[in-house]
Structure 1
Amino acid sequence: MLTIYKPVVIICLRKLLICFGLILAFFGTNAQEFTFPGRRQLQSINFKCIKNLVIIPLMVNGKGPYNFVLDTGVGPMIITDPSIIDSLDFSMLRKIKISGLGIETIDAFVSQNITAQIGRAKINNIPTAILKEDLFNLSGHLGLKVYGLIGHNFFNSFIVDIRYSENRLIFSDPSRRVKYRGSKIPIEIDNLKPYVYADFEIPDSGKVRAKFLMDTGASHALSMEMLNGKAFPVPSIKIPANLGMSLSGQIKGYVGRIRKFSVGDFVFNDVVAGFPDFESIATKIDLKVRNGNLGAELLRKFDIQLNYQENFMYLKPNSNYKIPFEHDMTGMVIYLDHVQYKRVLIGEIDEDSPAEKAGLCQYDEIFGVNFKPVEFYTLNDLTQLFKSKSDKTIILEIFRDNKVFYKVVHLERRI
């Protein structure tokens, strides 16, 4: 089962789950790998970190580079904008139906006739799922044009060093001797994705060990989905929230905090986590193989070396390690218009949130923030501003119905 999860549990970006279980049956069992040319064994490239997601340049069929999300949570490569493939004839491709968390069944197309290249490393005939369009406006939520996601084929080909502290990606041939840094943590590769065991504390149950999908393509810290075959216990202090956006509506749930969460010897306190409605997700994702999802808001606190071949990773704390976990303090989602990627629009607004109290409405356009034009800010800037400090006042210049309004939002730490 291939899982795409575009997160919004903690930050603005909505995480969507799409189950591509049927895709693997069409791709067969032949292994495809990235390889370096000649004697090269190592390369380093820079990446963009936007809303905790790693965005890398990728060549497709010799053209590009195009922005792709480097996502441990996906198997076959996924292209969300088919315009990058010349002379693509959908009638010649095998069509499958895909479904998932909160979405209606939609069409996708599968291909093994695509070449991809990251740096000097290249792969021919990479298994690929192609969507006819970016149904979920991933580009709008990230603030730059994104053409797809790539995961397992890249991670399975190299020892991959994600240096969040430097926005640098280093990948080397598995045969090359690597100097590991930090603490060694075992991982399991199941159905093309990595899992890690972690311990946490919940009221009335004490310390619990559970299995988490380690997902660099999820910008939240944690999603707690199931415990002992049932809904995960929700903390007493919580706020209702829309945890996902879909073709058929929102995925409901709560946001709260896990008092203590540890991976290996690394312990985190008061971790912000999403608690999706169990009945909504139990029929959409295979909870038999996992209890939850460990995302990049937590992973970015480390520089991470992943070795899929030998089933381990090394974690080394970086400059993000001691930054406390905070939830968005406005209670709203913002995104860029999917046509021009310039207009900043307001999406969902949580009930009884600071945004609702300030009189903001869905589809309002933000012209300015604190008397500066909105162009002065990136989406990353606004994301950080909106969770910066409780009781802080932010003044938004809003365009609605051909009129300009000024709205005062008082940030509130609600959990």
Structure 2
Amino acid sequence: MLTKYKLILPFTLRKLTLCASLFLLFFSHTYGQEFSFPNKRTRESLSFKSIKNLIIIPLFVNGKGPYNFVLDTGVGPMIITDPSIIDSLNFNALRKIKVSGLGLETVEAFVSQSISVKIGAATISRIPTAILKEDLFNLSGHLGLKIYGIIGFSFFNSFVVDVRYSENRIIFYDPDAKIKYRGTKIPIEIENLKPYVTAEVGLPEGRVKTKFLMDTGASHALSMEMLNGGEFPKPDVKIKANLGMTLSGQIKGYIGRIKELYIGKYTFKNVVAGFPDFKSISEKIDLTSRNGNIGADVLRKFDIQFNYRENFICIKPNSYSKQPFEHDMVGMVIYLDQNKYKKVIIGEIDEDSPAEKAGLCQDDEILSVNFSPVDVYTLNDLTNLFKSKSERNIILEIYRDNKIFFKVVKLEQRI
């Protein structure tokens, strides 16, 4: 008999936001298993790739690899999105779960407690893992790099983790090691295997105390989901947008700006924020214990030391801290078609956006950008280009229905 659990994996397709929640209750008693260093080693430094603000680290799984995984404070059990990395996997011997989303036919996933993982020199022999039988989320396409899964709580709970966004490096320490903490100490709460922080936001009527999920796997700045049991008030200036995808389809809502965000003694102004449709998001995510989430477009402005066991973080502003928050000025999603030729394809297009005004269409293939072949750009390059400067013209060569078109898109700061 199959056991039903709900898996919600929303991610914005414009600025990839990966924000996974697995409520797999049978995993709760297995979290005594932790990563550990060999011999008397107490720390390690590891470089990471930063793509669309996300942290990509190399993992070895069952002795093979390295494989690219997203390091994500927003997940509990490890999630393998591409099961091909486990050659000996016998799905018939694994416990099945139902992965469901409202309005979508239920699909199968599997759980295992016998997979071993190695990150640097640190190892864990039995990490709680959810395995998708097929890649439902196309993380590789939206990041432009082959991604095999997501890892979170097991790693962060085993070490003191120093995420140095300014250096594209993490340093992780044995919790009993002598550690020099830097910056401002802020308390956090660990609930359902995820970290939450209290902050304040500036609204027209004054400052409001808010509780946010700290989400390194969300590339956006802020998501404002609930206030006083209802929808979070939206700013006067806003645009309609597709904020993400779950198993049940698109999350509709608005993009606007929060006047101020206060974290500890630090203040950020004019922060780009998503305001998802409250009715649809409240049906997918338990909002009773949070007002929204803080994503990596805010978090990357600090170098952050996470100490889950003692329930605090230390934050120190870095070279990104003064950069203004900018939203995509084109209004479309692009992704890499993971076939032999790795085509760059246009996905969703926002209503009344520069992309729509220029005559671009969903499923168009981009051949060149400003007369340079598209393959000289990474998806990161294109993401940055598309929010670079209002009024800038970008010339796209498009392939559609066996014909080639040139389209001029004029970037527009819409909020």
Q: TM-score range by the shorter chain?
A: over 0.9
| 1:63-89 CA distance string (max 9 Å, x none) | 000000000000010000000002211
Distance in 2 (alpha carbons) for counterparts of 1:18 and 1:164: 21
Distance in 2 (alpha carbons) for counterparts of 1:183 and 1:253: 34
Aligned to 1:201, what secondary structure does the other structure show?
strand
Question: Which residue is equivalent to 1:20?
Answer: 22
Q: Which runs of 5+ in 1 are unaligned?
A: none
Give the Å deviation of 1:6: 2.6
Q: State the percentage of identical aligned residues.
A: 70
Q: Say how many residue pairs are matched.
A: 410
Distance in 2 (alpha carbons) for counterparts of 1:248 and 1:284: 9
Question: Which residue is equivalent to 1:40?
Answer: 41
Give the Å deviation of 1:50: 0.2
Aligned to 1:91, what secondary structure does the other structure show?
helix
Question: Which residue is equivalent to 1:6?
Answer: 11
Q: 1:273 to 1:30 in 2, by over 3 A?
A: closer
| 1:391-411 CA distance string (max 9 Å, x none) | 000000111111111000000
Question: Which residue is equivalent to 1:414?
Answer: 414
Given that residues 11 and 246 in structure 2 are in contact (C-alpha distance below 8 angstroms), is that contact kept between their aligned partners in structure 1?
Answer: no
Aligned to 1:125, what secondary structure does the other structure show?
strand
Aligned to 2:142, what secondary structure does the other structure show?
helix
Distance in 2 (alpha carbons) for counterparts of 1:68 and 1:263: 28
Distance in 2 (alpha carbons) for counterparts of 1:285 and 1:326: 27
Give the Å deviation of 1:7: 3.3
Question: Which residue is equivalent to 1:55?
Answer: 56
Question: Which residue is equivalent to 2:121?
Answer: 120
In the alignment, structure 1 residue 75 sits paired with structure 2 residue 76: yes
RMSD of aligned alpha carbons: 1.6
Q: 1:235 to 1:263 in 2, by over 3 A?
A: same
Distance in 2 (alpha carbons) for counterparts of 1:102 and 1:258: 32
Question: Which residue is equivalent to 1:222?
Answer: 222
Given that residues 5 and 218 in structure 1 are in contact (C-alpha distance below 8 angstroms), is that contact kept between their aligned partners in structure 2?
Answer: no
Question: Which residue is equivalent to 1:107?
Answer: 108
Q: Which runs of 5+ in 2 are unaligned?
A: 1-5
Distance in 1 (alpha carbons) for counterparts of 2:395 and 2:102: 36
Distance in 1 (alpha carbons) for counterparts of 2:344 and 2:231: 36
Question: Which residue is equivalent to 1:305?
Answer: 305
Question: Which residue is equivalent to 2:198?
Answer: 197
Give the Å deviation of 1:331: 0.4
Aligned to 2:115, what secondary structure does the other structure show?
coil
Q: 1:71 to 1:122 in 2, by over 3 A?
A: same
Q: 1:194 to 1:247 in 2, by over 3 A?
A: closer
In the alignment, structure 1 residue 97 sits paired with structure 2 residue 98: yes
Question: Which residue is equivalent to 2:398?
Answer: 398
Distance in 1 (alpha carbons) for counterparts of 2:48 and 2:315: 19
Which range is displaced more, 94-103 or 274-283? 94-103
Q: 1:121 to 1:341 in 2, by over 3 A?
A: farther
| 1:346-402 CA distance string (max 9 Å, x none) | 000001100000000001000000010101110000000000111000000111111
Given that residues 221 and 296 in structure 2 are in contact (C-alpha distance below 8 angstroms), is that contact kept between their aligned partners in structure 1?
Answer: yes
Distance in 1 (alpha carbons) for counterparts of 2:285 and 2:206: 27
Given that residues 333 and 349 in structure 1 are in contact (C-alpha distance below 8 angstroms), is that contact kept between their aligned partners in structure 2?
Answer: yes
Q: 1:279 to 1:399 in 2, by over 3 A?
A: same
Aligned to 2:316, what secondary structure does the other structure show?
strand
Amino acid in structure 2 at the alignment position of 1:61: N
Give runs of aligned pairs for residues 86-165 of structure 1, distance below 5 A.
86-100=87-101, 105-165=106-166
Question: Which residue is equivalent to 2:282?
Answer: 282
